[in-house]
């Protein structure tokens, strides 16, 4: 297992083609705009070496029996699923932002589960290939990015009907050695500081979209791959001064990028789906289930930070005992713990898939994420309420340091005795960073927009059964037999009981 420094050093061995603000970036690791994202991902490596967190941050590989970073592990039981979300919350608490590595983890698990099922049906050997790839990931402690979302163009058209074929990643050529692929993946978290890319199809494909039913892994610096790094709210503030950026060490959101694949060669041993369109739905839903359950971990870790920050600011401003402040903080805690309960339930209600890997409860995972799309906005609204308008009107650090304005600004931001004005500004900037910035749309769209969760909830909620229950209770079922009401198994059980009682010549009512 690498530690944080070794991870950062390992990125120097890669030669990625990355564009940002109209320029090709030469050294990713030394680029100040990328450093917060790299530091955050490094935390996933560093904490694995901290004895206090080893139980949560590491696992035993089911392939080798070796101790590995949990971010490269295939969940072997309920305990693993629970530890995974504990790890998410912990990292949210330590960084106050997105630590990026969960997308690849979910990609590894989803591809593991699906390749097994494809092989069962088609007699292919995708699963064996994938296990070999996984061995490499675990041995090298790689961070793969999870690239599912295609650019998607006109959302009402299927991939094969798009005006530009490259809006979806697709197979251009097949040969004895492998595939040639082209296309684009958008919004990919941690892409520029990952060692590898794992791709997955973004939606359910039909037969006509066979060439888009595709999953593979390649090195992040494979020939033909390039990146355009995204802008974020107030991103260049990190160049202006430590105070102004709010979370100077770890930044804001995960550092997303568009990945462009231009005639990229993928050898067969790195191909995990190539045309099996009937399994695209399974892969998408399995990935989405894992990923949506994570949000009740990482975002609750962030909530812990923002609740703590809001409480601290309330104390600094002398309002901590006001009943409405206590009420708002309590409300924030209750919402955060509701999301946490949801994600724990996803794990505890998990199940074993035919591949042996454990999956979370899909209905509950979608409920978790849907709650996140609403509640993060709500608890951040309350954080803004408690912190005051200063979070968007604070002057810059440069004005605080300018002898002409320093004294007056120090007076202006003074709070209760014992709370230095500079610390008050730091905390207000952190709350600004977390509640005004890109973290909100991330909670909305990351792991899929709310409509995607609602579709899954509607599909999996078993409304037919609920109607049967209601009809039975209301006494409007046509068939009122005991068996229909209580179910076949239970009917057999009671028949057996009845028989035994009758054998003993006892009357039953
Ligand atoms: C911060 C961040 C990080 C992310 N990280 C990753 C990552 O690491 N890997 C990855 O693969 N993806 C990632 N994503 C992508 C994420 O999954 C998508 O943002 C999400 O699926 C929504 O897609 P979109 O942003 O293109 O929005 P759109 O698809 O344009 O959605 C906008 C609206 O259109 C609706 N809509 C879309 N399609 C249809 C349709 N066919 N019919 C009806 N309504 C429709 C949506 O419900 C929504 O209301 C990330 C996103 C964000 C914001």
Instruction: Output the DSSP codes for 362-423.
Output: HHHHHHHHHHHHHHHHHHHHHHHHHH-GGGGTPPPHHHHH-TTTHHHHHHHT--STTS-HHH
What was the pLDDT predicted at 436?
Answer: 93
CB of 442 sitting under 6 A from ligand 1: yes
- Spans of all domains in the chain: 284-460, 463-503
The Cβ of residue 308 has, within 10 Å, a number of other Cβ atoms equal to 15
Mean pLDDT of the chain: 94
> 38 alpha carbon to ligand 1 midpoint, in Å?
24
CB of 256 sitting under 6 A from ligand 1: yes
As a whole number, mean pLDDT of residues 332-345 equals 98
Tokens 């849907």 found at: 370
As a whole number, mean pLDDT of residues 90-114 equals 98
Q: Residue 58: enclosing H or E segment and its boundaries?
A: strand 58-60
Give the distance, in angstroms, between the CA of residue 482 and the centroid of all CA atoms in the same chain. 46
What was the pLDDT predicted at 497?
Answer: 63
Q: How far apart are CA 8 and CA 116, in angstroms?
A: 34
pLDDT 10s digits, 374-401? 999 999 999 999 999 999 999 999 999 9
CB of 437 sitting under 6 A from ligand 1: no
Catalytic residue among 291, 317, 359, 361: 291
Q: Whose CA is nearest to atom 39 of ligand 1?
A: 155
Query: Given ligand 1 and candidates 446, 447, 455, 458, which is best to mutate, with the most ligand atoms within 8 Å of its CB?
Result: 446
What DSSP character marks residue 190?
T
Instruction: Please write down the HEC assignment for all residues of 275-329.
Output: CCHHHHHHHHHHHHHHHHHHHHHHHHHHHHHHHHHHHHHHHHCCCCCCHHHHHHH
Q: At what angle do helices 35-46 and 78-95 cross, to 10 degrees?
A: 140
CB of 144 sitting under 6 A from ligand 1: no
Q: How far apart are CA 416 and CA 292, in angstroms?
A: 41
> 109 alpha carbon to ligand 1 midpoint, in Å?
21
Query: Looking at the DSSP assignment, which residues form a beta bridge with residue 219?
Result: 196
Nearest ligand 1 atom to the CA of 444 is: 53
Of the pLDDT bands very low, low, confident and very high (cuts 50, 70, 90), residue 503 is: low
Distances (CA, A) of 183 to 19, 170, 270, 476: 17, 6, 17, 55
Tokens 């050997």 found at: 125
Of the pLDDT bands very low, low, confident and very high (cuts 50, 70, 90), residue 509 is: very low
Query: Given ligand 1 and candidates 144, 187, 261, 455, which is best to mutate, with the most ligand atoms within 8 Å of its CB?
Result: 187
The CATH number of 284-460 is which of 3.40.50.300, 2.60.40.10, 1.10.10.10, 1.20.140.10? 1.20.140.10
Q: Whose CA is nearest to atom 28 of ligand 1?
A: 449
- Whether pLDDT at 207 is above 80: yes
Query: Given ligand 1 and candidates 101, 144, 149, 188, which is best to mutate, with the most ligand atoms within 8 Å of its CB?
Result: 149
3 state DSSP class of 183: strand
What was the pLDDT predicted at 505?
Answer: 46
pLDDT 10s digits, 268-292? 999 999 999 999 999 999 999 999 9
Starting at the edge strand found earlier in the chain, the sheet holding 18-20 runs: 23-25, 18-20, 225-229, 256-267, 178-189, 170-174
Residue 189 a catalytic site member = yes
pLDDT 10s digits, 417-467? 999 999 999 999 999 999 998 899 999 999 999 999 999 999 988 899 999
Q: How far apart are CA 44 and CA 103, in angstroms?
A: 13
How much of the chain, in percent, has pLDDT values that exceed 70?
94
CB of 288 sitting under 6 A from ligand 1: no
Q: How far apart are CA 68 and CA 43, in angstroms?
A: 15
As a whole number, mean pLDDT of residues 394-412 equals 95
As a whole number, mean pLDDT of residues 73-82 equals 98
Q: Residue 422: enclosing H or E segment and its boundaries?
A: helix 421-436
Is the CB of residue 220 less than 8 Å from the CB of residue 14?
yes
CB of 100 sitting under 6 A from ligand 1: no
CB of 147 sitting under 6 A from ligand 1: yes
As a whole number, mean pLDDT of residues 24-31 equals 94
CB of 148 sitting under 6 A from ligand 1: yes
What was the pLDDT predicted at 361?
Answer: 97
CB of 396 sitting under 6 A from ligand 1: no
Q: How far apart are CA 16 and CA 19, in angstroms?
A: 10
> 284 alpha carbon to ligand 1 midpoint, in Å?
13
Nearest ligand 1 atom to the CA of 191 is: 8
Residue 464 sits at the vertex; the CA angle it makes with 458 and 468, to the nearest 5 degrees, is 145
Of the pLDDT bands very low, low, confident and very high (cuts 50, 70, 90), residue 508 is: very low
Tokens 């694995």 found at: 48
Catalytic residue among 53, 277, 295, 358: 295
Antiparallel, parallel or unpaired: β 225-229 and 18-20:
parallel
Is the CB of residue 163 less than 8 Å from the CB of residue 109?
no
Residue 250 a catalytic site member = no
CB of 149 sitting under 6 A from ligand 1: yes
Q: CB under 8 Å to 433, separation ≥6 — which residues?
A: 96, 234, 245, 246, 247, 252
Tokens 């230095």 found at: 420
Of the pLDDT bands very low, low, confident and very high (cuts 50, 70, 90), residue 253 is: confident
Catalytic residue among 189, 199, 353, 373: 189
Q: Whose CA is nearest to atom 37 of ligand 1?
A: 155
Q: How far apart are CA 94 and CA 43, in angstroms?
A: 8
CB of 200 sitting under 6 A from ligand 1: no
Q: How far apart are CA 271 and CA 53, in angstroms?
A: 35
Query: Looking at the DSSP assignment, which residues form a beta bridge with residue 185?
Result: 150, 259
Q: Is the dihedral of CA 299, 300, 303, 305 positive or negative?
A: negative
- Which tokens go with 106? 């979910």
Of the pLDDT bands very low, low, confident and very high (cuts 50, 70, 90), residue 331 is: very high
Residue 442 a catalytic site member = yes
pTM for the structure as a whole:
0.93
> 363 alpha carbon to ligand 1 midpoint, in Å?
20
Q: How far apart are CA 369 and CA 297, in angstroms?
A: 10
Residue 102 a catalytic site member = yes
Q: How far apart are CA 218 and CA 268, in angstroms?
A: 11
Catalytic residue among 46, 256, 276, 432: 256
- Whether pLDDT at 171 is above 70: yes
CB of 446 sitting under 6 A from ligand 1: yes
Q: What is the dihedral of CA 316, 320, 321, 324, to 10 degrees?
A: 140
- Which tokens go with 349? 């209600």
- Which tokens go with 132? 């070999």
- Which tokens go with 410? 């120090």
């Amino acid at each position: 297992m690498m530690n944080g420094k070794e991870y950062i050093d390992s990125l120097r061995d890669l030669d990625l083609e990355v564009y940002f603000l109209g320029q090709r970036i030469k050294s990713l690791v030394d680029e100040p705009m990328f450093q917060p994202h790299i530091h955050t991902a490094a935390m996933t490596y560093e904490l694995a070496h901290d004895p206090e967190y080893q139980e949560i941050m590491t696992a035993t590989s089911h392939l080798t029996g070796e101790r590995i970073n949990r971010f490269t592990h295939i969940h072997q039981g309920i305990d693993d699923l629970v530890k995974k979300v504990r790890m998410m919350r912990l990292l949210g608490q330590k960084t106050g932002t997105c630590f990026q590595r969960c997308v690849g983890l979910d990609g590894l698990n989803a591809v593991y589960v699906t390749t097994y099922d494809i092989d069962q049906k088609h007699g292919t050997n995708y699963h064996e290939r994938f296990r070999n790839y996984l061995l490499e990931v675990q041995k090298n402690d790689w961070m793969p990015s999870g690239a599912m979302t295609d650019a998607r163009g006109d959302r009402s058209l299927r991939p094969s009907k798009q005006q530009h074929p490259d809006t979806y990643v697709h197979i251009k050529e097949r040969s004895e050695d492998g595939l040639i692929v082209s296309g684009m993946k958008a919004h990919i978290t941690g892409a520029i500081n990952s060692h590898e890319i794992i791709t997955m199809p973004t939606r359910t494909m039909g037969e006509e979209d066979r060439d888009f039913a595709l999953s593979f892994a390649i090195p992040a610096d494979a020939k033909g791959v390039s990146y355009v790094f995204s802008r974020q709210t107030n991103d260049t503030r990190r160049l202006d001064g430590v105070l102004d950026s709010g979370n100077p060490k770890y930044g804001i959101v995960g550092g997303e990028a568009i990945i462009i694949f231009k005639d990229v060669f993928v050898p067969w041993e790195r191909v995990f789906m190539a045309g099996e369109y009937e399994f695209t739905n399974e892969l998408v839903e399995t990935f989405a289930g894992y990923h949506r359950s994570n949000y009740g971990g990482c975002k609750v870790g962030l909530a812990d930070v923002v609740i703590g920050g809001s409480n601290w600011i309330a104390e600094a401003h002398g309002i901590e005992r006001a009943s409405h402040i206590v009420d708002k903080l309590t409300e924030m805690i209750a919402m955060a713990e509701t999301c946490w309960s949801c994600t724990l339930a996803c794990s505890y209600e998990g199940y074993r898939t035919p591949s042996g890997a454990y999956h979370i409860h899909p209905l509950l995972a979608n409920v978790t994420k849907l709650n996140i799309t609403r509640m993060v906005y709500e608890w951040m609204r309350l954080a803004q309420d408690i912190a005051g308008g200063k979070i968007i009107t604070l002057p810059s650090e440069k004005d605080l340091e300018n002898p002409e304005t320093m004294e007056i600004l120090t007076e202006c931001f003074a709070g209760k005795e014992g709370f230095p004005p500079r610390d008050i500004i730091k905390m207000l900037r952190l709350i600004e960073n977390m509640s005004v910035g890109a973290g909100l749309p991330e909670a909305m769209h990351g792991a899929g927009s709310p409509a995607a969760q609602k579709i899954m909830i509607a599909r999996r909620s078993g409304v037919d059964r609920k109607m049967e229950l209601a009809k039975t209770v209301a006494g409007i079922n046509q068939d009122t037999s005991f068996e229909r009401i209580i179910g076949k198994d239970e009917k057999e059980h009671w028949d057996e009981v009845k028989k035994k009682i009758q054998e003993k010549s006892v009357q039953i009512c």
